[in-house]
C-alpha cells in the first residue's frame, strides 16, 4: 500500500469512528462528543496529508503515480501543475473531500446548538461517501513502470481561470452538505427553531462560491474555447447551475420563514434537494452515461454502483424522513396580499424552482428518452424558449420588490413610488426600440431589466447611507438586471461572418479591414499565433488568434483573439489554416434541376437535404449537386450550418480535381442555391478561414456577474453576523 492510500484509509477510519461517536453523543454525553471531535481532527489531518502528498507528487513529477502521469508533464509552469491536481476525477473528489472537512472545522465548535451531534453525524456521512469513491479509485494508484514523461495537461485547461474555477465549484458543493445536514438534524430531533438560524450563512456562502465558480467558468469558456459563447447548456454546466438555483430559492424561502413563519416544509425540502441534486449531477457527469451528449463528461471509472447506491440512500432517507415529519410541519399562510413583499418573494421562489426543474428535465433527457427508446438530448432552443418567459417574469417581480412592504400597500401608494423608475425604464426602452429591438419578447425583456436595475438602484442608494450590509439584496438584484441586459445584447444581437483570408489580401467585415499577415511564434516552445491586421479609422491593431494541433486531444484546437471595447467585443475565432491559397469564383445561382458550366465544371442542382446538426440548436442545410469534370462525374454536397445568434458555418465539398465548392446562400422558397468554387493556385500560399463576431454590450454581462458576487458576499457576511448576535434578519 502506498503512503497516499494509507492516508485515505486512515481518513476513512477516522470519519467512520467520528461519525459513530457523534451519533452516540446525541444522548447528551459531552465526553463522547469530545472524543468525536478528536477523531474529526485526525480525519481532517489525514485528508490534509493526502492532499499535500498529491500536490508534492505533481510538483516532483512522480510519473509512476498514474494520476500524475495522466494530467501533467515536466514542461508545465507551477500554476498549471497546481491546477493539474483537479484536472481529473480522482483529484476533484480529493479536493471536494478536503474542502468539506475543512469547512467542518467551523461547525465542530459551534456552541448553543442543540442539533450539533446529529449535524456532525450527517455531515460526516457526506464525507464518507467521497472517501468510498476515493478508496475505490485512488489518485495514488501506481503504474507498473515509471514513464520518462507525463501525458501532459489538456491545453484547454492551461488558463489562469482554471486555477480557481474547479475549487470554487467544489467548495460550493461541499458547503451545500451543511444545510443538508442541518435539515436532517432538525427532522430527526423534530426541532425546527434553530436550523435556519445556523444554516442561513452557509446557504449564502454556498450560493456565493457556486455562483462564482459558474461565472468564472462562463468567462473562461468565452475567453478560451473559441466558439463565441459563455454558456452552452452542456450537462456538466447545468449540473452546477441547478443546485445553485435551488439554493437561491432556499435562501429566499428562509427569509420568508424568519419573517412570516411560513414555508417550513418547502425550506426543508429545498435544503435537502439542493445537496441531492449535487449527488445526481455527480452521477450524470462522472458515470459516463452522458459521454455521447456532453463535451465535458468524464469517463466511467467503475464507480457507478457506488454513485447510484449513495444517491438512492441519501434520497430515500432524507425525503422519507421529511415525509414522515410533514404532518407536524405546519407554517403560517403567506402571500395573502398580492401587493406585499412576501407574495412577490413567494412567486420568485416558485419561478426560480421552475427554472431548476426545466433545466433538470433537459439535462436528464438522454436518460429519460433512453428508458423510453433511443437516447437523445434536447437542443439549446429548448432552454431559450423555456427561460426567456421566466426571465421576463423574474424581471417584473424584482422590479416591484424594493417598493413593497411586508404588509399590504395600496395601489395608489405603490403607483407613486414606482412612477420615477417606471418613466426612466420607459425612456431606456424607447431608445432600445429605436435601436432595433422590435421583437416583443426581447422588448419586454429589456424593459423589465431596465426597470429592475433602476428600481433596485434607487433603494440601494437610499440604504447606502446607513449600513452597507443592508444593501446586499438590492445590489444582487442590480447585478441580475445587468446580467439580463448583457445576455440579451451579446447573444440576441451578436453578428458573425466567416471570411476566407488569403495572405496579404485585404477583406472587410463590419466596416473593419482585415489583412492576414501570416504566423509568428514568440518562442520555440510556443504555438504559432496567426497575425491579422485590423483597421477601422483610428483603430489599428494586430489580432493574434491561435489554431494548433493538440497531441493530448489528437485534434486541432483554437483560441480566439478578443478585442475588448467599451460598447462591444470584437471576437476573432480561427476555423482553418491552409498552406495553399484558393482563387474564389464569383458566386452563381442554380435553381432545382438547373445545370450550368462554371470554371470548367458542369454543375447540376438536384435537391436540398435539411436536418438538425449534431450540436444542439443548430440546423444543417446541404445542396446535393451532380458535378461533371472532364471524364469524371461525382456528387458533391456543400452545406451551411445555421447556429444560434445569427451565426453560420459553411461546410465545403470536394470537386473531382481536389478543388472545393461552397454553398453561399439558400433560398428554399425559390428552390434555389448560391454557390462558389474555390480553385487551388499552383504556387504555394497561405489562407486563413476566420470567423469574426461582434458581441454588443457584453461587458454589461461581466459587470452584472461581478455585482451579483459582491451582493452575495455582503449577504453571507450579514447573515454570519446575525447568526452570531441572534439578530432577526429583515
What number is the average pLDDT over the span 311-329? Answer: 92
> CA–CA separation, 40 vs 110, rounded Å?
14
Three-state DSSP at 18 gives helix
297 and 229 both lie in a single domain: yes
Residue-wise pLDDT for 589-599, tens only, equals 999 999 998 88
Please give, one letter per residue, the 3-state secondary structure of 89-145.
Answer: HHHHHHHHHHHHHHHHCCCCCCCCCCCHHHHHHHHHHHHHHHHHHHHHCCCCCECCC
Confidence of residue 297 (pLDDT cuts 50, 70, 90): low
Is-contact 601 628, C-beta < 8 A? Answer: yes
Among the candidates 138, 153, 168, a domain finishes at 153
pLDDT at 42 over 90: yes
> CA–CA separation, 666 vs 643, rounded Å?
15
144 and 175 both lie in a single domain: no
pLDDT at 171 over 90: yes
Q: Is residue 252 assigned to a domain?
A: yes
Q: At what angle do helices 116-136 and 161-189 cross, to 10 degrees?
A: 130
Q: What secondary structure does DSSP assign to 197-221, as a single string? A: HHHHHHHHHHHHHHHHHHHHHHHHH
Of residues 590, 528, 536, 588, the one with CA closest to residue 563? 536
Q: Is residue 57 assigned to a domain?
A: yes
Burial grade of 81 (CB within 10 A; 0-12, 13-18, 19 or more): buried
The pLDDT assigned to 728 comes to: 47
On average, the pLDDT of the chain sits at 87
Confidence of residue 377 (pLDDT cuts 50, 70, 90): confident
Q: Is residue 450 assigned to a domain?
A: no
> CA–CA separation, 76 vs 69, rounded Å?
12
Confidence of residue 224 (pLDDT cuts 50, 70, 90): confident
Q: Which residues pair with 569 in a beta bridge?
A: 564, 695
> CA–CA separation, 311 vs 419, rounded Å?
51
Residue-wise pLDDT for 674-694, tens only, equals 999 987 764 546 788 899 999
Confidence of residue 587 (pLDDT cuts 50, 70, 90): confident
Exposure letters 296-329 (e unless 16+ CB within 10 A, then b): ebbeebebeebbeebbeebeeebeebbeebeeeb
> CA–CA separation, 593 vs 17, rounded Å?
79
Q: Is residue 218 assigned to a domain?
A: yes
> CA–CA separation, 617 vs 610, rounded Å?
14
Residue 272: Cβ within 10 Å count: 24
The pLDDT assigned to 114 comes to: 82
642 and 511 both lie in a single domain: no
> CA–CA separation, 609 vs 673, rounded Å?
12
> CA–CA separation, 517 vs 510, rounded Å?
20
Query: Integer distance in angstroms from the first to the last C-alpha of the chain?
Result: 55
Exposure letters 613-638 (e unless 16+ CB within 10 A, then b): beebbbebbbbbbebbbeeeeeebeb
The pLDDT assigned to 644 comes to: 60
What number is the average pLDDT over the span 610-628? Answer: 74
The pLDDT assigned to 524 comes to: 43
Q: How remote is the C-alpha of 439 from its chain's centroid?
A: 27
The pLDDT assigned to 474 comes to: 93
Q: Residue written as cell 454556498?
A: 206
367 and 353 both lie in a single domain: yes
What number is the average pLDDT over the span 552-568? Answer: 84
4 and 145 both lie in a single domain: yes
Is-contact 420 459, C-beta < 8 A? Answer: no
Lowest-pLDDT range of 295-299, 533-537, 566-570: 295-299
The pLDDT assigned to 525 comes to: 45
Lowest-pLDDT range of 36-40, 375-379, 632-636: 375-379
What number is the average pLDDT over the span 129-149? Answer: 92
Grid coordinates given for 95: 479536493
CATH code of the domain containing 127: 1.20.120
Among the candidates 153, 170, 198, a domain finishes at 153
Is-contact 223 160, C-beta < 8 A? Answer: no
Q: What secondary structure does DSSP assign to 277-325, as a single string? A: HHHHHHHHHHSSTTTTT-SSPPPP-S-HHHHHHHHHHHHHHHHHHHHHH
Of residues 179, 198, 189, 28, the one with CA closest to residue 113? 198
Q: Residue written as cell 426597470?
A: 451
The pLDDT assigned to 671 comes to: 86
178 and 245 both lie in a single domain: yes
Of residues 317, 63, 67, the one with CA closest to residue 188? 317
Among the candidates 358, 375, 392, a domain finishes at 375
What number is the average pLDDT over the span 4-26? Answer: 95
Q: How remote is the C-alpha of 35 from its chain's centroid?
A: 42
Is-contact 70 84, C-beta < 8 A? Answer: no
Q: Is residue 711 assigned to a domain?
A: no
54 and 175 both lie in a single domain: no
Q: At what angle do helices 472-487 and 698-725 cross, to 10 degrees?
A: 160
Q: Is residue 299 assigned to a domain?
A: yes
Confidence of residue 730 (pLDDT cuts 50, 70, 90): very low
pLDDT at 710 over 70: yes
83 contact partners, CB below 8 Å, separation of at least 6:
153, 157, 162, 163, 166
189 and 264 both lie in a single domain: yes
Task: Count structural domains, the chain.
Answer: 4
Please give, one letter per residue, the 3-state secondary structure of 60-79.
Answer: CCCCCEHHHHHHCCCCCCHH
Q: Which residues pair with 611 in a beta bridge?
A: 620
130 and 191 both lie in a single domain: no
665 and 569 both lie in a single domain: no
- DSSP code for 263: -
118 contact partners, CB below 8 Å, separation of at least 6:
22, 23, 26, 181, 184, 185, 188, 189
531 and 594 both lie in a single domain: no
What number is the average pLDDT over the span 234-259? Answer: 92
331 and 235 both lie in a single domain: yes
Confidence of residue 245 (pLDDT cuts 50, 70, 90): very high
Three-state DSSP at 694 gives strand
Grid coordinates given for 5: 492510500
Q: Is residue 404 assigned to a domain?
A: no
Q: At what angle do helices 472-487 and 380-400 cross, to 10 degrees?
A: 140
Which residues constitute the domain of residue 12?
A: 1-153
The pLDDT assigned to 504 comes to: 87
Mark residue 310 as left, alpha or beta (left: phi above 0; alpha: psi -120 to 50; beta: remaining). alpha
Confidence of residue 614 (pLDDT cuts 50, 70, 90): very low
555 contact partners, CB below 8 Å, separation of at least 6:
549
User: Between 161 and 177, where is the model more confident?
Assistant: 177
Q: Is residue 396 assigned to a domain?
A: no
Indicate if the alpha-carbon torsion angle 581, 586, 591, 593 is positive or negative: negative
Residue-wise pLDDT for 450-475, tens only, equals 999 999 999 998 888 778 888 899 99
The pLDDT assigned to 645 comes to: 52
Amino acid at each position: 500500500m502506498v503512503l497516499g492510500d494509507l492516508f485515505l484509509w486512515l481518513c476513512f477510519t477516522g470519519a467512520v469512528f467520528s461519525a459513530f461517536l457523534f451519533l452516540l453523543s446525541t444522548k447528551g454525553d459531552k465526553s463522547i462528543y469530545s472524543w468525536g471531535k478528536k477523531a474529526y481532527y485526525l480525519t481532517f489531518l489525514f485528508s490534509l496529508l493526502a492532499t499535500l502528498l498529491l500536490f508534492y507528487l505533481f510538483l516532483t513529477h512522480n510519473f509512476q503515480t498514474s494520476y500524475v502521469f495522466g494530467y501533467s508533464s515536466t514542461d508545465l509552469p507551477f500554476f498549471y501543475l497546481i491546477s493539474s491536481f483537479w484536472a481529473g476525477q480522482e483529484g476533484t473528489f480529493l479536493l471536494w473531500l478536503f474542502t468539506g472537512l475543512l469547512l467542518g472545522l467551523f461547525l465542530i465548535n459551534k456552541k448553543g446548538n442543540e442539533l450539533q451531534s446529529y449535524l456532525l453525524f450527517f455531515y460526516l456521512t457526506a464525507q464518507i461517501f467521497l472517501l468510498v469513491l476515493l478508496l475505490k479509485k485512488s489518485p495514488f494508484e501506481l503504474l507498473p513502470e515509471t514513464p520518462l514523461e507525463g501525458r501532459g495537461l489538456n491545453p484547454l485547461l492551461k488558463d489562469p481561470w482554471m486555477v480557481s474555477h474547479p475549487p470554487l465549484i467544489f467548495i460550493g458543493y461541499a458547503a451545500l452538505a451543511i444545510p443538508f445536514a442541518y435539515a436532517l438534524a432538525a427532522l430527526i430531533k423534530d426541532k425546527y427553531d434553530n436550523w435556519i438560524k445556523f444554516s442561513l450563512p452557509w446557504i449564502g456562502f454556498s450560493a456565493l462560491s457556486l455562483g462564482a465558480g459558474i461565472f468564472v467558468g462562463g468567462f473562461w469558456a468565452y475567453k478560451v474555447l473559441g466558439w463565441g459563447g459563455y454558456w452552452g447548456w452542456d450537462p456538466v454546466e447545468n449540473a452546477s447551475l441547478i443546485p445553485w438555483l435551488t439554493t437561491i430559492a432556499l435562501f429566499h424561502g428562509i427569509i420568508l420563514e424568519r419573517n412570516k413563519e411560513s414555508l417550513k416544509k418547502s425550506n426543508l425540502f429545498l435544503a435537502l434537494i439542493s445537496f441531492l441534486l449535487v449527488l445526481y449531477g455527480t452521477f450524470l457527469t462522472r458515470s459516463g452515461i452522458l459521454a455521447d451528449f456532453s463535451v465535458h463528461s468524464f469517463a466511467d471509472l467503475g464507480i457507478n454502483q457506488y454513485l447510484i447506491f449513495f444517491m438512492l440512500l441519501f434520497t430515500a432517507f432524507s425525503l422519507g424522513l421529511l415525509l414522515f415529519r410533514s404532518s407536524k410541519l405546519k407554517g403560517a399562510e403567506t402571500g395573502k396580499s398580492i401587493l406585499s413583499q412576501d407574495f412577490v418573494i413567494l412567486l420568485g421562489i416558485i419561478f426560480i424552482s421552475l427554472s431548476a426543474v426545466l433545466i433538470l428535465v433537459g439535462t436528464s433527457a438522454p436518460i429519460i428518452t433512453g428508458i423510453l427508446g433511443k437516447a437523445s438530448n434536447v437542443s439549446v432552443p429548448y432552454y431559450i424558449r423555456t427561460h426567456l418567459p421566466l426571465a421576463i417574469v423574474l424581471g417584473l417581480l424584482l422590479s416591484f420588490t424594493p417598493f413593497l412592504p411586508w404588509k399590504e400597500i395600496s395601489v395608489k401608494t405603490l403607483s407613486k413610488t414606482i412612477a420615477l423608475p417606471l418613466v426612466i425604464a420607459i425612456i431606456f426602452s424607447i431608445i432600445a426600440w429605436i435601436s432595433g429591438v422590435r421583437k416583443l419578447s426581447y422588448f419586454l425583456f429589456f424593459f423589465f431589466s431596465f426597470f429592475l436595475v433602476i428600481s433596485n438602484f434607487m433603494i440601494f442608494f437610499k440604504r447606502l447611507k446607513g449600513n452597507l450590509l443592508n444593501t446586499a439584496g438590492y445590489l444582487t438584484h442590480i447585478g441580475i438586471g445587468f446580467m439580463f441586459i448583457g445576455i440579451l445584447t451579446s447573444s440576441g444581437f451578436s453578428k458573425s461572418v466567416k471570411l476566407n483570408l488569403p495572405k496579404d489580401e485585404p477583406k472587410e467585415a463590419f466596416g473593419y479591414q482585415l489583412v492576414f499577415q501570416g504566423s509568428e511564434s514568440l518562442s520555440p516552445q510556443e504555438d504559432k499565433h496567426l497575425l491579422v491586421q485590423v483597421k477601422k479609422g483610428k483603430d489599428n491593431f494586430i489580432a493574434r488568434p491561435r489554431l494548433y494541433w493538440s497531441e493530448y486531444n489528437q485534434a486541432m484546437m483554437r483560441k480566439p483573439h478578443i478585442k475588448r471595447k467599451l460598447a462591444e467585443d470584437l471576437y476573432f475565432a480561427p476555423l482553418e489554416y491552409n498552406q495553399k491559397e484558393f482563387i474564389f469564383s464569383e458566386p452563381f445561382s442554380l435553381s432545382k434541376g438547373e445545370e450550368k458550366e462554371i470554371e470548367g465544371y458542369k454543375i447540376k442542382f438536384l435537391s436540398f437535404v435539411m436536418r438538425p446538426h449534431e450540436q444542439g440548436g443548430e440546423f444543417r442545410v446541404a445542396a446535393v449537386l451532380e458535378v461533371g469534370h472532364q471524364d469524371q462525374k461525382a456528387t458533391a454536397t456543400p452545406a451551411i450550418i445555421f447556429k444560434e445568434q445569427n451565426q453560420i458555418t459553411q461546410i465545403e465539398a470536394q470537386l473531382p480535381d481536389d478543388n472545393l465548392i461552397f454553398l453561399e446562400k439558400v433560398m428554399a422558397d425559390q428552390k434555389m442555391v448560391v454557390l462558389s468554387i474555390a480553385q487551388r493556385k499552383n504556387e504555394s500560399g497561405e489562407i486563413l478561414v476566420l470567423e469574426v463576431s461582434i458581441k454588443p454590450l457584453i461587458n454589461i454581462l461581466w459587470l452584472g456577474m461581478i455585482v451579483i458576487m459582491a451582493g452575495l458576499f455582503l449577504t453571507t457576511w450579514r447573515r454570519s453576523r446575525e447568526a452570531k448576535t441572534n439578530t432577526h434578519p429583515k
